[in-house]
Each structure stands twice: as structure tokens, then as C-alpha cells.
């Protein structure tokens, strides 16, 4: 059966502490008990041994007869002491024949402990009255007045162990009570300490619960909290800063996105209202419809870019590798902007490595980059301008480079970095309505996914702006 | 009445300009904030319609600089920024009104009329000069019970004179308010339009309201 630990930290701490205390008390108590027991039994055995010596010395033999003479009255009294009686039994003929037994044994025998042994032997026994006792027996030769000695004797003495065992029992009980008292005391004190020290966590959870997720810099403070909570608090506040930053970026992004959609919506509404406001010629209506179509195209591009950005942020848009014929991707990209380029009488110069190896990279992501770079170049080129498109693959570093350049009319060198910010629209005047400032920022995010780099620079004294997109990839032959 | 539109979104700018032109306003427009600031500073406008999110110079910067140079000029902000703090920032920077995109051209037109009236200290939408009534809401005029059929340009000229009733309005001022940079017009076009207006307002032998001040200009007044 699997034991599930309690979920409460308080309960876990209490359980751990109580378990530790109980184990410590059990081991400590058992050790103390055993030490006491050993000491008591040693003392008891020493006393028994002294008694045995006394009983041996009380014997002598002469004329083939063994005499037992207790020289003190106290010994006899001690034998008969009902509280701590000493039982003794002598056997002669190598212990086979009973010679003497202390009167307190009545007619009962003591077990022949140490019979046949010259060294004293101890044994726990049960007396005839059912009480536990400790017995010591040995074979000995009584002091001899004859020559040669003739009689060997066996003596066994026993003492009631009840008092010692009672004492040990009381000691055990006392230790149990002390352990129980200590456990309760420690439980209460530990519980109070744990509760007191967990209180900051409760306060922290209340603060977290009361913190709105809608924004506003929130920092948590816990006065009097244990030092162990400081790193938690620090990390939590750092996390809150990051969350706040992310929320602010999201708010800004949403506001910018809404702004970029409101402009075309306002444009559509005003054109429709204008057309409906009074009777117009068929040419006017056609012009209005053309205008609306342009606005719709712009909106479609904004929405498409926003969706790609959202997928990139959520990690849905991944760089799935496939065979990408880069030349074809570039040609297809150009085909999409061909009409506008022709209207503006733009000249395009191609410089594609021949043969260009098929790349192993994401066709979808590369297509988005190419489309945005070409779209930008065509839209921001002056009439009859020149656009250069080049693509090369460097086998030494397994890296592909796409360059797109066009004549620059408005950009400064500072703009070359700023233009990758989302919704940055530069100084492009009324051409800006075709661009929401999403494309280049989107391209840079995509290139980062491909572990590459996208940058812009002004060349030829600022007359030309060049976009350089480099990304590592293998080729079909690799 | 001459109006400047500073709006970077081409389709919207052109629609607004066309609507205002159809209502008889003289409209200039630009997509660039810096250029708009220059135009507003160098010319005389009754109203500037200003977007906030502009390339090169932000609309609020344009507004602040404009307020330093022309504190009396009416400015209507028309923007997609709808947050309370954006509205507060715009009005605090000196805008006279704030309109959030997308908006109705009718509403824009009404706000433009209101601001133009306010610019000339006129709170009543109907301007009365003797028995001449000019309704700035419907852009109609009548003398007594007789409606006057006016073209957009003629109405704009009449309203311009009516806003400054009793004051002499110089020919140059009239020309500047009625024609934009892109229109090629004859030098006597003001006199021609004044003649048209007089003919229509004095139809049926009604007394003259538009008087000539030789060497100065024209004045609309019910007394000589």
C-alpha cells in the first residue's frame, strides 16, 4: 500500500519532527534501560557471588562428614527474610545426593545450576512459588581436615529477582511517560514554531491572491519573515517584474495592433460614407472600390503578419526542416510584387549562386522572410529605382545569405536598427498605409528561430539600404 | 474656411479632404508631421485636423509646437488611440476636440463646424445678419422666407463673411481661405464670387448686405 504524505507543509514538518523524536526517544530509552538493567543485574550477580562464597566457606569436612556452619545469625535471618530471601541447597556425592537446603525452600529443590562445573554458573530460574529468580551454582571441595579429602560438593543459591524486575519495570514506565510528555511538549512547541514561521507564507499567499493580473508593478514584502524566504521573495518579485514587462509589451502590442486595424477601418468607412453621401459617377464608384480593395489588401497583410507573430510567440510556428529550392522561393516572392514593381518601372538585378544547392530548412519561414523583404524593397524604392537581389550558400560555414537592397530616400543609419521594432514606420509619409511596421520585426524573429541574423545597413554613402539575412542550414547533399 | 489635414493614412486623408471640400472648405493635407507643422505655421487655417501616430514627428509634438506659435488655432485630434490617458494627453496638450477612429464623416463634419463657429465666437449654429439667416448645420442660407441656392464655394464665402460680420475681410484673406495650394485660379476670382453672392442675396430687390470697402476688402452688414 502506498502511503501518501500529507500535503500540508505544517503537517509534514510535524510528522517529520514527531517521527524523529519518537525514534530518538526509543533508541535513547532502550539504551538507558539496558544500561540500568545491566548495572542492576551485575550488582545482583555480585551480591549473589558474595553469597555463594559465604556458603562455600560455611562448609568443611572431617571424618567423612560435611559440616555447614553459618557463623552469623544474620545470615540465617537473611535466608529467612521474606523481602529478600536467599535460597540455598547443598548436594554431596558430586551433587547427586541432597545434603542440606535452606529452610525457606521447604521441601522444594533448586535446579542443579552449575552442577559438574568448577566455575560458578548463573541461570535465571523460576522458584517453586512461581517468582523469577537468579541462581548461581558451582562444584567445590569443602575445607578438608582429613587427608586425603573425600567429599566433593555442589552448592546452588538463588535470590528472588522480583524487586529488580519491578524496579526495571518502573524505570520503563517512567521513561514511557517522560517520552510521551516530551513528545506532547515538542509537538505543541513545534506546532507553534511552525505556525509562526509559516505565517509569512500565508501572508504572502494573501498578497499574491490580492494582486491583480491586469498590470501595475506589484512587489511583495514580508516583514519579519525567516531569512530562508528571502530568495523566494526576491525571485517572486523578479518574476512579477518580468510578468509586468510581458503584460506591458502585450498591452502595447495589442494597442498597436488595434491602431493598425482602426486606420484601415476608418479609411473604409470614410470612403463608403463618401460614396453613399451623394450621387457619384460610375468612375467615382470604381475609384472607391479600387480604394477599398487596396485597404482590404493592406488589412489582410496586417492580419496575416499578426497571426504569424502570435504563432511565433506561442511556439506553434516551428522551423520544420524540408528541402527548399531557394532560387524558386525568391522567384515566387518576386512574382507577387511584380505588378507593383512594373507600375513603378523598377529595375531588378539578380545575383543568385549557380548552381544554388537545395537547402534543408523551413520553406514556410524562408518564404515569409523573402516576401517581406521584397515587398519592402518594392514599396520603398523610388520610381524607376533599382532593386538588387542576391543569394549565396557558403559550404565552409554551412550558411545561406540573402541580400536585398534598394535606393534609400528617408532612412538614417540609426533607423537601420529601429526599423526592426514592431510597428515602427519610420519617415515614410503616406506610403506607410501599406505597411504596419510588422514585416521586418517579424522577419527578425523568424531568423532568430532559424539561429540566423537579419540586419540592415546603408551603403554607398547612404544612397542604398541593404538587408542581409544569414542563416545556418545544411544542403541536400550533406 | 481653410482646413489643414495632417494624417498619414492616405485613403482616410483623401476621403476626409474630399468630404470637406464638398462642403465648401478649402482643404490642404499632408501625411508628414513636420511638414504639417510648417504648413500650419506659415498659413492661416480655421482648423487643423491632426492624427497622433505620425511618421517623423508625433502628433502631440506637432500640437505642442503649434500651440507655442498659434495659440488661437483650433485643433481637432482624429486618432485610433482611444485610451483615456491618450485623450487626456491630447486635450492637455492643447487640442480643442478629440475624435477616435473609425468615425463617421457626418460626426467629423459636425465637429469641424462647431469648432469653426467657436473660433469666430459664434455659438448659435444659425448666423443672422438682418433678414439673412445662415444655417451652419444644414449649410443653407435664406433671406426672409426665400431660400438662397448657393454652390459650396459661394456658401463657404458667405459663411466666412458671416463669421466676421461687421468686420472688413481682406481679399487676400478670402482668397487664402477659399483656395488651396493646388488650385490655379484667376486673380479676380474673389470679386467674381462676391458678384455671384450679391446677385443671389439681393434677388427680388432686397437691400445689399455685402459692401465693398475700397482698397480694404468686403464686409457683411445690414447697415451701410
Q: What is the mean pLDDT of chain B?
A: 88
Q: What is the pLDDT of residue B185?
A: 59
Contact between B103 and A269 using a beta-carbon 8 Å cutoff: yes
The reported pTM is 0.58
Task: Using an 8 Å CB-CB cutoff, list chain A residues near B110.
Answer: none
Q: What is the rounded average pLDDT of the residues A418-429?
A: 71
Contact between B8 and A271 using a beta-carbon 8 Å cutoff: no
As beta bridge partners, residue B99 has B78
Where does chain B have alpha helices with state H? 10-22, 33-42, 59-69, 84-92, 105-119, 152-163, 171-178, 189-201
Banded model confidence at residue A245, pLDDT cuts 50, 70, 90: confident
Banded model confidence at residue A79, pLDDT cuts 50, 70, 90: low
Residues B173, B217 contacting (CB under 8 angstroms): yes
Contact between B9 and A425 using a beta-carbon 8 Å cutoff: no
Q: Is B99 on the interface with A (CB under 8 A)?
A: no
Q: Is B105 on the interface with A (CB under 8 A)?
A: yes
Nearest CB among A265, A271, A428 relative to B15 is that of A271
Banded model confidence at residue A364, pLDDT cuts 50, 70, 90: confident
Task: Using an 8 Å CB-CB cutoff, list chain A residues near B27.
Answer: none
Q: What is the pLDDT of residue A431?
A: 44
**CA A337 – CA B71 distance, rounded (Å):** 47
Task: Using an 8 Å CB-CB cutoff, list chain B residues near A264.
Answer: 9, 11
DSSP state for residue B208 in the 8-state scheme: P
Q: Is A455 on the interface with B (CB under 8 A)?
A: no
Domains of chain B (ranges; CATH) run: 2-119 (3.40.50.2300), 126-220 (1.10.10.10)
- Distance from the Cα of A403 to chain B's closest Cα (Å) equals 27
pLDDT tens digit string along A335-358?
888 888 898 899 999 999 988 899
Report which of B108, B206, B197 is spatially closest to residue B161, judged by C-alpha positions. B197
More confident residue, A405 or B1: A405
Q: Is A425 on the interface with B (CB under 8 A)?
A: yes
Quote the percentage of chain B above a pLDDT of 90. 47
Quote the percentage of chain B above a pLDDT of 70. 96
Residues 13-72 of B with CB under 8 A from A: 13-16, 18-19, 22, 31-32, 53, 55-56
**Residue whose entry in the numeric block shows the C-alpha cell 542492576:** A40
Check pLDDT > 90 for residue B136.
no
pLDDT tens digit string along A179-205?
888 888 888 887 888 788 778 878 888
Check pLDDT > 70 for residue B141.
yes
Question: Is A239 exposed, middle or buried, given 0-12, 13-18 or 19+ CB atoms closer than 10 A?
Answer: exposed
Report which of A402, A393, A415, A390 is spatially closest to residue A453, judged by C-alpha positions. A402
pLDDT tens digit string along A247-291?
887 777 777 777 778 888 999 999 999 998 888 889 989 988 988
Q: What is the pLDDT of residue B224?
A: 62
Contact between A427 and B32 using a beta-carbon 8 Å cutoff: yes
Max alpha carbon distance in chain B (Å)? 57
Quote the percentage of chain A above a pLDDT of 90. 23
Check pLDDT > 50 for residue B114.
yes
My answer on whether omega of the bond before A19 falls inside 30° of 0, hence cis, is: no
Q: What is the pLDDT of residue B115?
A: 92
Check pLDDT > 70 for residue B175.
yes
Task: Using an 8 Å CB-CB cutoff, list chain B residues near A294.
Answer: 11
Contact between B80 and A258 using a beta-carbon 8 Å cutoff: yes
- Distance from the Cα of A433 to chain B's closest Cα (Å) equals 5
Contact between B8 and A430 using a beta-carbon 8 Å cutoff: yes
As beta bridge partners, residue B210 has B220
Contact between A432 and B12 using a beta-carbon 8 Å cutoff: no
Closest Cα in chain A to B32: A429
Task: Using an 8 Å CB-CB cutoff, list chain B residues near A425.
Answer: 8, 55
- Distance from the Cα of B34 to chain A's closest Cα (Å) equals 10
Q: What is the pLDDT of residue B100?
A: 92
Banded model confidence at residue A432, pLDDT cuts 50, 70, 90: very low
My answer on whether omega of the bond before A82 falls inside 30° of 0, hence cis, is: no
Closest Cα in chain B to A256: B81
Task: Using an 8 Å CB-CB cutoff, list chain B residues near A426.
Answer: 55
Give the Å distances, CA to CA, from A412 to A62, A417, A420, A430.
136, 10, 14, 18
Q: Is B102 on the interface with A (CB under 8 A)?
A: yes
Which stretch, A143-147, A412-416, B11-15, has highest mean pLDDT? B11-15
| Backbone torsions φ then ψ of A470, nearest 5 degrees | -120, 135
Q: What is the pLDDT of residue B38?
A: 93
Mapping DSSP onto H, E and C, the string for chain A reads: CCCCCCCCHHHHHHHHHHHHHHHHHHHHHHHHHHHHHHHHHHHHHHHHHHHHHHHHHCEEEECCEEEECCCCHHHHHHHHCCCCCEEEEEEECCCCEEEEECHHHCCCCCCCCCCCCCCCEEEEEECCCCCEEEEEEEEECCEECCCCCCCCEEEEEEEECHHHHHHHHHHHHHHHHHHHHHHHHHHHHHHHHHHHHHHHHHHHHHHHHCCCCCCCCCCCCCCCCCHHHHHHHHHHHHHHHHHHHHHHHHHHHHHHHHHHHHHHHHHHHHHHHHHHHCCCCHHHHHHHHHHHHHHHHHHHHHHHHHHHHHHHHHCCCCCCCEEECHHHHHHHHHHHHHHHHHHCCCEEEEEECCCCCCEEECHHHHHHHHHHHHHHHHHHCCCCCEEEEEEEEECCCCEEEEEEEEECCCCCCCHHHHCCCCCCCCCCHHHHHHCCCCHHHHHHHHHHHCCCEEEEEEECCCCEEEEEEEEECEECCC
Contact between B102 and A269 using a beta-carbon 8 Å cutoff: yes
Contact between A270 and B106 using a beta-carbon 8 Å cutoff: no
**Residue whose entry in the numeric block shows the C-alpha cell 556452619:** A69
Banded model confidence at residue A370, pLDDT cuts 50, 70, 90: very high
Q: What is the pLDDT of residue B78?
A: 94
Amino acid at each position: 500500500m502506498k502511503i501518501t504524505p500529507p500535503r500540508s507543509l505544517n503537517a509534514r514538518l510535524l510528522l517529520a519532527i514527531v517521527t524523529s523524536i519518537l525514534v530518538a526517544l526509543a533508541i535513547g530509552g532502550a539504551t538507558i534501560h539496558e544500561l540500568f538493567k545491566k548495572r542492576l543485574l551485575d550488582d545482583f550477580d555480585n551480591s549473589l557471588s558474595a553469597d555463594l562464597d559465604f556458603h562455600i566457606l560455611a562448609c568443611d569436612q572431617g571424618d567423612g562428614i560435611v559440616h555447614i556452619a553459618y557463623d552469623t545469625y544474620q545470615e540465617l535471618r537473611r535466608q529467612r527474610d521474606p523481602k529478600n530471601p536467599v535460597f540455598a541447597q547443598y548436594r554431596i556425592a558430586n551433587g547427586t545426593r541432597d545434603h542440606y537446603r535452606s529452610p525457606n525452600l521447604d521441601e522444594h529443590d533448586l535446579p542443579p545450576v552449575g552442577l559438574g562445573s568448577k566455575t560458578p554458573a548463573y541461570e535465571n530460574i523460576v522458584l517453586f512459588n512461581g517468582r523469577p529468580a537468579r541462581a548461581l551454582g558451582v562444584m567445590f571441595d569443602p575445607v578438608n581436615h582429613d587427608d586425603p579429602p573425600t567429599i566433593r560438593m555442589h552448592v546452588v543459591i538463588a535470590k528472588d529477582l522480583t524487586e529488580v524486575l519491578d524496579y526495571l519495570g518502573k524505570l520503563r514506565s517512567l521513561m514511557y511517560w517522560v517520552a510521551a510528555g516530551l513528545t506532547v511538549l515538542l509537538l505543541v512547541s513545534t506546532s507553534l514554531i511552525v505556525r509562526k514561521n509559516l505565517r509569512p507564507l500565508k501572508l504572502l499567499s494573501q498578497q499574491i491572491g490580492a494582486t491583480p493580473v491586469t498590470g501595475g508593478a506589484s512587489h511583495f514584502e514580508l516583514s519579519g519573515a525567516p531569512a530562508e524566504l528571502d530568495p523566494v521573495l526576491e525571485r517572486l518579485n523578479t518574476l512579477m517584474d518580468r510578468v509586468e514587462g510581458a503584460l506591458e509589451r502585450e498591452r502595447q502590442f495589442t494597442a498597436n495592433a488595434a491602431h493598425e486595424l482602426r486606420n484601415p477601418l476608418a479609411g473604409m468607412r470614410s470612403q463608403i460614407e463618401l460614396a453613399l453621401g451623394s450621387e457619384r459617377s460610375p468612375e467615382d464608384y470604381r475609384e472607391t472600390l479600387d480604394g477599398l480593395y487596396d485597404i482590404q489588401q493592406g488589412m489582410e497583410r496586417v492580419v496575416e503578419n499578426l497571426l504569424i507573430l502570435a504563432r511565433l510567440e506561442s511556439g506553434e510556428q516551428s522551423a520544420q526542416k524540408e528541402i527548399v529550392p531557394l532560387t524558386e522561393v525568391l522567384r515566387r516572392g518576386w512574382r507577387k510584387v511584380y505588378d507593383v514593381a512594373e507600375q513603378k518601372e523598377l529595375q531588378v538585378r539578380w545575383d543568385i549562386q549557380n548552381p544554388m544547392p537545395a537547402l534543408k530548412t523551413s520553406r514556410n519561414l524562408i518564404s515569409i522572410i523573402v516576401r517581406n523583404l521584397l515587398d519592402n524593397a518594392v514599396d520603398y524604392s523610388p520610381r524607376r529605382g533599382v532593386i538588387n537581389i542576391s543569394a549565396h550558400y557558403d559550404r565552409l560555414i554551412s550558411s545561406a545569405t540573402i541580400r536585398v537592397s534598394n535606393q534609400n530616400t528617408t532612412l538614417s543609419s540609426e533607423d537601420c536598427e529601429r526599423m526592426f521594432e514592431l510597428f515602427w514606420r519610420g519617415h515614410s509619409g503616406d506610403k506607410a498605409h501599406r505597411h504596419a511596421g510588422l514585416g521586418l520585426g517579424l522577419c527578425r524573429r523568424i531568423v532568430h528561430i532559424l539561429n540566423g541574423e537579419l540586419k540592415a545597413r546603408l551603403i554607398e554613402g547612404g544612397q542604398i539600404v541593404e538587408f542581409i539575412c544569414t542563416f545556418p542550414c545544411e544542403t541536400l547533399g550533406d | 474656411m481653410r482646413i489643414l489635414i495632417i494624417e498619414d493614412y492616405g485613403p482616410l486623408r483623401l476621403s476626409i479632404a474630399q468630404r470637406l471640400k464638398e462642403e465648401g472648405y478649402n482643404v490642404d493635407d499632408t501625411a508628414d508631421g513636420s511638414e504639417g507643422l510648417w504648413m500650419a505655421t506659415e498659413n492661416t487655417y480655421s482648423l487643423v485636423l491632426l492624427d497622433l501616430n505620425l511618421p517623423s514627428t508625433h502628433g502631440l509634438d506637432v500640437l505642442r509646437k503649434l500651440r507655442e506659435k498659434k495659440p488661437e488655432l483650433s485643433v481637432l485630434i482624429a486618432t485610433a488611440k482611444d485610451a483615456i490617458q491618450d485623450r487626456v494627453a491630447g486635450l492637455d496638450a492643447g487640442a480643442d476636440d478629440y475624435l477616435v477612429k473609425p468615425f463617421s464623416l457626418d460626426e467629423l463634419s459636425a465637429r469641424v463646424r462647431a469648432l469653426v463657429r467657436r473660433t469666430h465666437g459664434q455659438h448659435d449654429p444659425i448666423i443672422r445678419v438682418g433678414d439673412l439667416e445662415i444655417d451652419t448645420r444644414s449649410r443653407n442660407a435664406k433671406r426672409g422666407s426665400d431660400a438662397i441656392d448657393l454652390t459650396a464655394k459661394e456658401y463657404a464665402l458667405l459663411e466666412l463673411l458671416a463669421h466676421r460680420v461687421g468686420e472688413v475681410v481682406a481679399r487676400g484673406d478670402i482668397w487664402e481661405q477659399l483656395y488651396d495650394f493646388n488650385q490655379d485660379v484667376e486673380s479676380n476670382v474673389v470679386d467674381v464670387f462676391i458678384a455671384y453672392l450679391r446677385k443671389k442675396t439681393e434677388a427680388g430687390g432686397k437691400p445689399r448686405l455685402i459692401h465693398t470697402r475700397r482698397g480694404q476688402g468686403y464686409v457683411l452688414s445690414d447697415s451701410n
